[in-house]
Homo-oligomer: A and B are copies of this chain.
């Protein structure tokens, strides 16, 4: 397995083409806007080095029997599924941000069973190809971007009906040695911090969209691939040079548009090509795993937000007020409700035909549906307790100013035993998580990542077994079924 330092080093060797604010970035690893997101991924390597986190951070490969980073692992039991969630909570606690590497883990777990089932039914050899890639990924300890979401254009139209055929990634040429793909993937989490990309289709497709039913892997710096970095609320505070106003100076996340400008993919890296009837299963399983993920990572970030809020109450001198204590309890209650859902869909997982474990689909969707709601309420309560100063405080530069710095210190003190700077730090962290760069992950991504709320409702409807419930009611009400 790679050390954290080796991970950073390996990224420097990539030849990524990244645009940010209208300019090509020379050195993504050290760019102040990008670097905190790299630090978050790096933490997935760093913690795997520490003995106290071995059980959560690593696993034993079913391919080789060797120890691998859990992010490269196929879940071999419900215990593995539970540990995945606990690892994600841990990383959320340590970074207070999106650590990005989950998409790859969720993608390989989805691809494993779907390629296996494709081969079973169609006689293809996708699963073998996939296993070869997986082996390499485990050996090299790669960070992989599981790339699913296409730009989609008009949501009312299918891929092949769009005015521009490229609004979904598709095969533009099939050659003897491979395929050429064109299009883009939007909202790509951690794309700039990844070694490889695993592309999957984004919706269940019909025959007319067969060219869009394509899945493959490619090196992140393959010829024809480039990135446009997404901007986040308060992103440019990272260019100001301080450590207070950014809220979280060490960690962050990112999303980017990933463009495929006629990229060649050799056949050995292709896992689906036209088998549209399997696109739905791949989408559903990847989404399912990722909906489970949010029952871990968002809970970890929530832990930090709750801790920060409790500190704000301490610093304001109100920690003993009953309504403050009650709101903190409510925040913990909501946060643990999410965790309960993450644990439950894992503990209730099942073995797939290929041998790895799938979460309980109904509960994973219930988990994510709660994630689209409860963090918003947790954030609202955090703002309630923090107080308005969170959004009216002067800047770090004012605090550092030799003349008015003292005035800032004098008037923004809370309880006299706590330095004003510490109070500002904690309030800026709450701002970061509820309005700033991290709110992108803690709130908006909680809403839309792994599928928007309506997607979960459709799944809940399908999985909820209403027919059985009707039979139960008939039995109690003594209604004869004809």
Binding site for B on A (CB under 8 A): 19-23, 82, 93-96, 151, 153-157, 162-164, 166-167, 184, 186-187, 228-234, 236-237, 240, 243, 245, 247-251, 255-257, 259, 303-308, 310-311, 314, 316-318, 320-323, 325-326, 328-329, 332-333, 336-337, 339-341, 343-348, 362-363, 366-367, 369-370, 372-373, 376-377, 380, 383-384, 387-395, 397-398, 400-401, 404, 407-408, 410-416, 422, 425-426, 428-429, 431, 435-436, 439-440, 443-445, 447-449, 452-454, 457, 460-461, 464, 466, 468-479
Complex: A321 Cα to B445 Cα, angstroms: 22
Pick from B153, B249, B387, B401: contact of A448, CB below 8 A. B387
What's the nearest-Cβ distance from chain B to residue A105, in Å? 20
Task: Give the complex CA separation of A415 and B471 in angstroms.
Answer: 19
Q: Is the interface of A mostly helix, strand, loop or mixed?
A: helix
A156 to B153 CA separation, bound complex (whole angstroms): 35
Instruction: Among B157, B332, B431, B476, point to the contact of A460 (Cβ < 8 A).
Output: B332
Chain B's closest residue to A255 (CB) is: B392
The residue on B at minimum CB distance from A324 is B454
Residue of B256, B340, B460 touching A345 (CB-CB under 8 A): B340
With A155-B317, A184-B411, A329-B464 given, is the CB distance from A21 to B259 under 8 Å?
Answer: no
Nearest CB in chain B: distance from A93 CB, A: 5
CB–CB A472/B307 < 8 A: yes
Known contacts A369-B333, A413-B164, A473-B426: A228-B306 contact under CB 8 Å: no
CB closest chain-B residue, reference A228 = B394
In the bound assembly, the distance between CA atoms of A325 and B447 in angstroms comes to 18
Tell me the complex Cα distance, A317–B151, Å.
13
A-B contact pairs, 28 of them (CB 8 A): A22-B395, A22-B397, A23-B397, A82-B347, A94-B475, A151-B411, A154-B415, A155-B318, A162-B416, A166-B410, A228-B404, A231-B394, A233-B436, A234-B234, A236-B236, A256-B392, A303-B468, A306-B466, A307-B466, A307-B474, A311-B479, A314-B470, A326-B326, A343-B363, A344-B344, A384-B453, A391-B444, A392-B440
Chain B: CB-nearest residue to A427: B477
Give the chain B neighbours of A411 by CB distance below 8 A. Answer: 151, 166-167, 184, 186, 257, 259
> Given A163-B416, A391-B445, A429-B476, 16 other A-B contacts at CB below 8 A?
A19-B394, A22-B401, A23-B397, A153-B415, A154-B415, A162-B416, A233-B234, A233-B431, A236-B237, A325-B461, A336-B460, A343-B343, A343-B344, A347-B347, A384-B453, A435-B439
